[in-house]
Amino acid sequence: MPNHAAATERVRTTIDKSIVPTNLIAGESGRPISNTSGSAEMALAMHLRKKGVKMYGAFWCGFCSRQKELFGQQAFPKLRYIECDPRGTNPNRQACSQAGVTGFPTWTFPNGQKFAGMRSLDALANISGYTGPRNFKN
């Protein structure tokens, strides 16, 4: 059985609390997305997809669950999400290894930028050059 506590602690060190409010860092992992998406979340997700941005994660990762909740039920499936745990749905460990993923979530950009840790939607918008609406509801 994998040591989830150690993995969670390793990822916790990659979270920048100035980017993500502390009330969003805790969260139940592996659960369905409960938040609905607004038009701003949908627009950002489509922008990130068009840019070729990828999110690497694991189904049991609480930070990944919170990241998914920020996008919401309708927007998150628009993203390019790669499951790194072989027990997850449609896993791709090879892609995770090739991308050099060492913590979850990890965001990669086609220009070579890589960001480990959960990010606010505003931070992802800034990093990606998104200029659309920012009235994010989640």
Q: Over the stretch 14-57, which tens digit does the pLDDT of each residue have?
A: 434 334 333 333 333 457 899 999 999 999 999 999 999 999 99
If one counts every other C-beta atom within 10 angstroms of the C-beta of residue 45, the result is: 23
CA distances from 8 to 35, 36, 51, 106, 135 (A): 23, 26, 29, 13, 30
* Residue 72, C-beta contacts closer than 8 angstroms, at least 6 positions apart: 33, 35, 36, 37, 38, 41, 137, 138
Strand partners, 57: 83
Q: What is the pLDDT of residue 30?
A: 59
Q: Which domains does the chain have, with CATH numbers?
A: 1-13+54-138 (3.40.30.10)
Q: What does the mean pLDDT of the chain come to?
A: 84
Beta strand spans in 28-118 (E): 54-57, 80-83, 106-108, 114-116
Q: Over the stretch 57-96, which tens digit does the pLDDT of each residue have?
A: 999 999 999 999 999 999 999 999 999 999 999 999 999 9
If one counts every other C-beta atom within 10 angstroms of the C-beta of residue 87, the result is: 10
Q: Is the pLDDT higher at 4 or at 101?
A: 101
Tokens 């070579």 map to which residue? 112
Q: Over the stretch 115-130, which tens digit does the pLDDT of each residue have?
A: 999 999 999 999 999 9
Q: In what order do the strands lie in the sheet with 54-57?
A: 80-83, 54-57, 106-108, 114-116
Q: What is the pLDDT of residue 28?
A: 38
CB-based contact 83:58 (threshold 8 Å) = yes
